[in-house]
Amino acid sequence: MSSASGERCEVCGEDLVAPSNGRRTGRPARYCSSACRQRAYRMRPKDPGPALDGPPAPLKEPVLPAPLDSFVGRERDLAELDSLLRKHRLVTLLGPGGAGKTRLSVELGTRVRDRFPGGVYLVELASLTDPALIARTVADTLGAGEEIGRPVVETLADAVSRQPALLVLDNCEHLVVAAARLTAELLRRSAALTVVVTSRESLELPGEVVFRVGELTLPANAVHAVDLLSSDAVRLFVERASANSPDFELTDDNAAHVAAICAELDGLPLAIELAARRVRLLGVAEIRSRLADRFQLLTSGPRTAARRHRDLRTTIEWSYELLDPVEQVVFRSLSVLVGGFNMDTAAAVSDVDDVLEPLSALESRSLVVAGRADGRFRQLESIRLYGFDQLRAAGEEDETYDRLAEYLLALAEPIVGDGMLHCYEELAPLDAERTNLLALLDWAAQHGDDRHLALATALGRVWRHHGYVSDGSAMLLSAIDTAGRDHPVRWAALTVAAGLVIAGGDYPLAVELASEAVRLCEVAGHPVRLVKALSILAAVYVTSGMHDAGREVAQRALDQAPRLTNPLDLSVCLHNQAYYLLLAGQVEQATELMDRCLPLYRAHSPHPLPSEWLHTAGVLALARDDVDAADTHLRESLERFVTTVGADSLPVTAVESFDGLAIVAVRQGLYVRAVRLDTIADVARHDRKLGREASVESKRDATLAVARGGLTPEEVRRAEYDGMALARRGAVEYAISDTWPEREGSLSPLSDQEISVARMVAAGHTNRQIASRLRLTERAVESRLRDIRTTLGLRTRAQLAAWSAQHLDEP
């Protein structure tokens, strides 16, 4: 029987057992077992070789994966990340699946490698499923040897403390808790370490700086190939498409399709690359037409890519499966909100008790994107479509749309119900949801929902505010016909439709619609409804030049005033009739009504005076020849638009304020400003097919004739050109401040390249010569010339040459 020898194992410290015969053979025993012998072998110190001067070498020669394709775009992101790494030790690249976080982190590591003599190490965690193995995986990547009886994290901390090193932990979202613990421990133990994390969810650690990896830059209203290449998304598509189909080239013929593909895919790199791989088989027009079924289209990534990066659906599914059941319910419900949403809208469509925590979880996992200033959220379209597929699969589509309908109709109560709209602020919540309202309208129409007419009426009123009168009237008139004559909100639909139709200048139809609305409201006997209908009818008569009829209807509305119990309803009634009576020439009565309504509104409304009311005050001041007061009120009307609307186009009232300010400028002797403002108003009316009230039109013609007569023909042309340039860029700011750019003529309605083309036409160059000089195809030059003539309202090349000589300096 063997006994203790009095010696211990050099590895584990256990007593060594002496031979039973008490005799030793060979070398003395050092280990108690073969296992300890093998551990000792692994732990043996490596031969350091000859001593070298300088800092110690990295643990293991860092090898960042060498990309097989080029890195496109994100130069601004890389510059910002470089700056962040100089100031912070933990930076998390946060973004949805397919945003290009891994590719960006590798490019970043490559560019900053010289700043980290201890090495730049990429640890790929996507395939790891056991959180307990993260430290071991990191150690293997760094080549840190195992030390018996010592925690791996201590070994790692010592290893990365030798000199500055950068550790990139890639794809942490499914192991976020374990990754956070390891990162915190390593950073605490090693001041020389910097960590970059890529994840769909942040680590939530002290000192963590989150860098959101957003979409690639998208094309901004460009239609020509050379202009589109300023977009990173387009450049990525073109590069990847050319790699898969060498004969592919971005041209003016396919530019619109490429731009639309990139925009519809939200600039998401993975989706764009998958779409580009289809070019060889389908072509860009066919790819664009199939994006509605993108999860069937975008399925052929590189064979070497991880499975979740070979298929767009799988990429999003990876994130969806990490959600808990309540978060999945909210995620599915949000998919009906095609136009983004705020917290209230999210709560309205989600069948959960409290939406705050689930929504916060979705935002932290990059499944929704929070707006920076407007308090709204949005989803990338691919993510939303995946959620909608899940909504349908769960059988929750109809009930979710039903909740959305109830919520939006509650916002629309002042339009379709017994209330009255007092100011834009009361319309703003519904206005913010106008894209969702349009999608809901399609659902209601497909399902024959009785609420379709009320929803169409609400959308029509929102569109009227923004001047979309042609589309709005066509949509609403169709809904009225479909709903039938006995629909309970027909009166409201007719009222809003009349307002849209008159803004477009169809006075006979507007009279017909408004008159029927009045008849229905008289039968119902509801005073607020009747006042709204009478107000529209008065507007129709006055704007069509039927002033006597307009005055009579306005008085009928005023006769209802004693029945209005809400002071704000009364103030709106008084204001509206004041405006109509003013247009009908009743200046004294209009002044009396404004003197009554303004104090009433200020006393009972928490909001500032509406821009419409300031416009009325301005026009009234003009009628009294108080030019200074008119100037002040009309500018304030536009200021209200700038500060409270923030919409994508000027409301009708703003266009009318430009008309008024043009007349003010003539009265002030500012003829150039008058022509500029009048041109701005003309462009806005032309673009959106807006009419102009008859008496205002005649007054405007007479007044502007004075301005044009006070200028030379060249000065008139120059002022009109300036107005065209400002019409879509900076019009409101110019009208308010009267500040023109420092260099006269620095604004142009043409792009820089179009200006070059126009100059060369004036110099007598042919299309072929222009194409050669600008490195374009002749077809591209022809396209530019068509665009230029359309913008400037010119028909011939000779007219363009003459215009260029007058308006463009030599380069």
Instruction: Please report which helix (H) or strand (E) contains residue 8, including its range.
Output: strand 3-8
Query: Which has the higher per-residue pLDDT, 264 or 160?
Result: 264
pLDDT at site 30: 63
pLDDT at site 648: 38
What's CA 358's distance to the chain center, in Å? 22
Type of residue at 331? F
Residues 391 and 444 in one domain: no
Domain's final residue, options 160, 178, 212: 212
Type of residue at 806? Q
Characterize the bridge pairing of strands 90-94 and 15-18.
unpaired
Query: Which has the higher per-residue pLDDT, 245 or 16?
Result: 245
Residues 200 and 238 in one domain: no
616 domain residue, yes or no: no
SS3 18: strand
How far apart CA 248 and CA 244 sit, in angstroms, is: 9
Segment of 33-47, 88-102, 141-155 carrying the highest mean pLDDT:
88-102
Residues 310 and 355 in one domain: no
pLDDT tier at 643, thresholds 50, 70, 90: very low
pLDDT tier at 252, thresholds 50, 70, 90: confident
Residue 397 belongs to domain with CATH number: 1.10.10
Query: Which has the higher per-residue pLDDT, 310 or 303?
Result: 310
pLDDT tier at 53, thresholds 50, 70, 90: very low
Structure token pair of residue 211:
């860098």
pLDDT, mean of residues 325-335: 93
69 domain residue, yes or no: no
pLDDT at 465 over 70: yes
How far apart CA 381 and CA 261 sit, in angstroms, is: 12
pLDDT tier at 300, thresholds 50, 70, 90: low
Query: Which has the higher per-residue pLDDT, 203 or 752?
Result: 203
The count of C-alpha atoms lying within 13 angstroms of the C-alpha of 571, restricted to the half-sphere facing its C-beta, is: 19
pLDDT at 642 over 60: no
How far apart CA 786 and CA 225 sit, in angstroms, is: 15
Residues 358 and 267 in one domain: no
293 domain residue, yes or no: yes
Structural domain total, the chain: 7
Phi, psi of 13 (to 5 degrees): 85, 0
The string of pLDDT tens digits covering residues 428-438 is 899 989 989 99
Within 8 A by CB and 6+ apart from 180, the residues are 203, 204, 205
pLDDT tier at 714, thresholds 50, 70, 90: confident
620 domain residue, yes or no: no
Structure token pair of residue 7:
């010696």
Local structure of residue 165 (DSSP, 8 states): E
The string of pLDDT tens digits covering residues 6-49 is 566 655 556 666 555 554 444 556 667 666 665 555 555 444 44
pLDDT at site 506: 85
pLDDT at 146 over 70: no
291 domain residue, yes or no: yes
pLDDT, mean of residues 252-259: 80
Which of 76, 73, 385, 100 has the alpha carbon at shortest distance from 268?
A: 100
How far apart CA 367 and CA 96 sit, in angstroms, is: 6
CA atoms 531, 537, 539, 541: torsion sign: negative
Query: Which has the higher per-residue pLDDT, 531 or 256?
Result: 531
Please tell me the least confidently modeled range out of 295-304, 391-400, 442-451, 613-622.
Answer: 295-304
pLDDT at site 57: 44
User: pTM score, two decimals?
Assistant: 0.73
pLDDT tier at 181, thresholds 50, 70, 90: confident
pLDDT, mean of residues 649-676: 85
The C-alpha angle with vertex 615 and arms to 610 and 618, in degrees rounded to 5, equals: 130
Residues 428 and 505 in one domain: yes
Instruction: Please report which helix (H) or strand (E) contains residue 120, including its range.
Output: strand 120-124
What's CA 285's distance to the chain center, in Å? 25
pLDDT at site 748: 61
Residues 702 and 799 in one domain: no
Work out the percent of the chain whose per-residue pLDDT is above 90.
24
pLDDT tier at 68, thresholds 50, 70, 90: low
pLDDT, mean of residues 248-272: 82
Query: Which has the higher per-residue pLDDT, 19 or 140?
Result: 140
Residue 168 belongs to domain with CATH number: 3.40.50.300
Please tell me the least confidently modeled range out of 244-253, 339-348, 714-723, 733-742.
Answer: 733-742
592 domain residue, yes or no: no
Residue 507 belongs to domain with CATH number: 1.25.40.10
Specify whether the CB–CB gap between 242 and 69 falls below 8 A: no
pLDDT tier at 480, thresholds 50, 70, 90: very high
Q: What DSSP line would sit under 410-478, residue for residue? A: HHTHHHHSS----SHHHHHHHHHTHHHHHHHHHHHHHTT-TTHHHHHHHHHHHHHHHT-HHHHHHHHHH
Residues 372 and 268 in one domain: no
Phi, psi of 168 (to 5 degrees): -105, 115
Q: What residue numbers bound the domain in which 263 lies? A: 225-314
Residues 259 and 300 in one domain: yes
Within 8 A by CB and 6+ apart from 520, the residues are 490, 491, 494, 533
Domain's final residue, options 166, 191, 212: 212
635 domain residue, yes or no: no
SS3 210: strand
How far apart CA 679 and CA 558 sit, in angstroms, is: 37
pLDDT at site 410: 94
Residue 790 belongs to domain with CATH number: 1.10.10.10
Residues 283 and 188 in one domain: no
Could you tell me where the DSSP H helices lie in 299-380? 312-320, 325-333, 343-349, 356-364
Residues 115 and 167 in one domain: yes
pLDDT at site 644: 41
Structure token pair of residue 278:
């289809």
pLDDT at site 45: 46
3-state SS, 386-423, equals HHHHHHHHCCCHHHHHHHHHHHHHHHCHHHHCCCCCCC
Residues 180 and 118 in one domain: yes
3-state SS, 571-610, equals HHHHHHHHHHHHHCCCHHHHHHHHHHHHHHHHHHCCCCCC
Type of residue at 162? R
SS3 568: helix
pLDDT at 566 over 80: yes
pLDDT tier at 810, thresholds 50, 70, 90: low
Within 8 A by CB and 6+ apart from 7, the residues are 15, 16, 28, 29
pLDDT at site 59: 56
pLDDT at site 729: 63
Mean pLDDT, the chain, rounded, equals 81
Neighbours of 661 (CB within 10 A): 27
Query: Which has the higher per-residue pLDDT, 482 or 643?
Result: 482
pLDDT at site 761: 81
Residues 335 and 461 in one domain: no
By CB neighbour count within 10 A (0-12 exposed, 13-18 middle, 19+ buried), where does 3 fall? Answer: exposed
160 domain residue, yes or no: yes
Q: What DSSP line would sit under 358-384, residue for residue? A: HHHHHHHTTSSEE-SSSS-EE--HHHH
Work out the percent of the chain whose per-residue pLDDT is above 70.
82
pLDDT at site 303: 46
pLDDT at site 12: 57
